[in-house]
Amino acid sequence: MTALIARLLMVAGLFFFFATTIGILRFPDFYSRMHAAGKGDTLSSLLLLSGLALVNLAGAPLTFDNILVSLKIMAILVFIFLASPTATHAIIDAGYASGIEPWQKPGTSKEGDDDLAV
Amino acid sequence: MIWQFDIILLTLIVLCALFTISIKDLLGAAIMFGAYSFLMCLLWTEMGAVDVAFTEASVGAGVSTILFLAIVHRSTRRVKVRQRGRIFYKGLGLTASLMMGGLLFYASSDFPAWGDPLAPASNHVSPYYLLHTLADTAVPNVVTSVLADYRGFDTMFETSVILTAGLAVLIVLRLDGSRTGGPVRKMARPIAKGYEDTIIRFISRAMAPFLQLFALYVLAHGHHSPGGGFQGGVILGATFILLAISYDLQLVVQTFTEKTALILANIGLLIYSGTGALCLLLGHNFLDYAALAKIIPGATTVTARSDGIMMVEIGVALAVMSIIVIIYTNLVSDGTYEKGL
């Protein structure tokens, strides 16, 4: 049962990694690409790592050593949960500070108000 | 070893190396070099050299990338393309590297296969270390005991090389105003408020103590798991670099001053060589930690060697941490300690 949950988590993680890659390649500008990279990367890393922590426990006796390894993986997970979005934020902030214009759908007004655009 | 994985890794490594040397943008080259280091780290892990991989991840992919970024920030991003005599120089370089590469390929045919049990290195030295480490030094991690005990001399001079590198950076770059003829700058400057970002600052501030705790864990747990003085020291130094980037260089320069850093670096090397000299005083050979059993209460000659390794690792960590902070602060501010990245 634990192994099954772990596999589901890891497959979901790989799916989100794949979606992240597509997002980075296909999105039109810097900000939306970073949006895909930051969100997808964090989520898929979290899913993969929690899957790994469970795989480590699945089928093995619940000894102190095994639980310690899983706890270490969970510590990495917390670190990624904090650090990865912050890094994305810092990169986007630097892009905004250096004056990268957000992408707009061709034909809409510069202000981005789609309803008023003719 | 999973050979499919190896082939993917090796292809990516070669691609990264080619991009690194061919890219015209130096910032991009630095980032590609970071990726190259990280792939090398994966390769070391794949080959089972976890300690080397840890060092590569912390030094190669982590700190050197930041140092390269600091240099690019202080110099220029663009490579100047030489117009005249370009073909000649390119041909010269190509011939030299082809000859060198051919020589290396020729020499590599004499190497024993990877993991060959009949290789000269696996015949007398390695088996001795593998068989005797636990009985000799009470340290389960063979790499640590080889690094700090059996080959303690090498590591001591590696530490002094790092100290010398830091001093060289200081001599070349450091400007305190007296040399340029200008007024000697006061060290105490307020921490700049120009670029404030609450999220980045809060997360860096909240994570720095945990990173330092992890560095101490790496340092102290090097006997049992990958890690040790070098990796722990690099992570400790990296926390200061993180604070210098997310806050302001002044925060680090004022709290971890140049004087403190230099004193700590020298104390680190002194701890290492002092441990060796202490063994000498107690009637054994230099760096023969078994001698420490006479002064450490309750230690046998075996556990004394483990304690001796711990002492020199602390010295290494102190020296590496301080030297990394010195190199970073000097590179990023042109030696003035005024403004960083």
Q: What is the pLDDT of residue B242?
A: 92
Domain boundaries, chain A: 6-97
* Binary contact (A93, B200; C-beta < 8 A): yes
Task: Give contacts of B200 with chain A, Cβ < 8 Å.
Answer: 86, 89-90, 93
Tens of pLDDT, residues B260-269: 999 999 999 9
Stated pTM of the model: 0.86
* ipTM greater than 0.95: no
* Binary contact (A89, B200; C-beta < 8 A): yes
Mean pLDDT score of chain B, rounded to an integer? 87
* Binary contact (A86, B197; C-beta < 8 A): no
Predicted confidence band of residue A110 (pLDDT cuts 50, 70, 90): low
Across A35-63, average pLDDT: 89
Predicted confidence band of residue B336 (pLDDT cuts 50, 70, 90): confident
Residue B303 pLDDT > 70:
yes
Tens of pLDDT, residues B97-145: 999 999 999 998 888 887 788 888 788 888 888 888 888 888 888 899 9
Long-range contacts of B274-277 (CB under 8 A, 24+ apart): B274/B315, B275/B308, B275/B311, B275/B312, B275/B315, B276/B152, B276/B156
How close A116 gets to chain B, by Cα (Å)?
34
Q: What is the pLDDT of residue B180?
A: 54
Tens of pLDDT, residues B33-78: 999 999 999 999 998 899 999 999 999 999 999 999 999 988 888 8
* Binary contact (B197, A93; C-beta < 8 A): yes
User: How many Cβ contacts (< 8 angstroms) between chains A and B?
Assistant: 18
Residue A86 pLDDT > 80:
yes
Q: What is the pLDDT of residue B130?
A: 87
Q: What is the pLDDT of residue A118?
A: 44
Chain A: residue whose CA lies nearest to B214: A75
Tens of pLDDT, residues B214-250: 999 999 998 888 888 899 999 999 999 999 988 888 8
Task: Tell me if chain B has a CB within 8 Å of the CB of A90.
Answer: yes
Which stretches of chain B are DSSP H helices? 3-22, 26-46, 50-55, 64-74, 86-108, 125-137, 142-145, 152-173, 198-220, 229-246, 249-255, 258-281, 301-332
Residue B5 pLDDT > 60:
yes
Kindly tell me the burial class for residue B160, based on how many C-beta atoms sit within 10 Å of its own C-beta (0-12, 13-18, 19 or more). middle
Task: Tell me if chain B has a CB within 8 Å of the CB of A101.
Answer: no
Q: How far apart (Å, rounded) are the C-alpha atoms in residues A11 and A17? A: 10
Task: Tell me if chain B has a CB within 8 Å of the CB of A96.
Answer: no
Under a CB-based contact definition with an 8 Å cutoff, are residues B140 and B129 in contact?
A: no
Amino acid, single-letter form, for residue B21: I
Task: Give contacts of A86 with chain B, Cβ < 8 Å.
Answer: 199-200, 203-204
Residue B164 pLDDT > 90:
yes
Residue B320 pLDDT > 90:
yes
Task: Tell me if chain B has a CB within 8 Å of the CB of A89.
Answer: yes
Predicted confidence band of residue A117 (pLDDT cuts 50, 70, 90): very low
* Binary contact (B207, A89; C-beta < 8 A): no
* Binary contact (A86, B199; C-beta < 8 A): yes
B203 closest CA partner among A24, A85, A110, A94? A85
Q: How far apart (Å, rounded) are the C-alpha atoms in residues B64 and B128? A: 35
Q: What is the pLDDT of residue B325?
A: 94
Q: How far apart (Å, rounded) are the C-alpha atoms in residues B266 and B269? A: 5
B25: which strand partners?
A: B78
User: B-side interface with A, Cβ within 8 Å?
Assistant: 197, 199-200, 203-204, 206-207, 210
Task: Give contacts of B203 with chain A, Cβ < 8 Å.
Answer: 82-83, 86
Residue A106 pLDDT > 50:
yes
* Binary contact (B200, A82; C-beta < 8 A): no
Residue A36 pLDDT > 50:
yes
Q: What is the pLDDT of residue B63?
A: 93
Domain boundaries, chain B: 118-341
CA distance to A66, B144, B332, per residue, from B226 (Å): 18, 8, 31
Across A57-75, average pLDDT: 87
* Binary contact (A86, B200; C-beta < 8 A): yes
* Binary contact (B200, A83; C-beta < 8 A): no
Predicted confidence band of residue A113 (pLDDT cuts 50, 70, 90): low
Task: Give contacts of B204 with chain A, Cβ < 8 Å.
Answer: 86
Residue B277 CB-half CA count within 13 A: 6
Residue B322 pLDDT > 50:
yes
Residue A43 pLDDT > 90:
yes
* Binary contact (B207, A82; C-beta < 8 A): yes
Residue B191 pLDDT > 70:
no
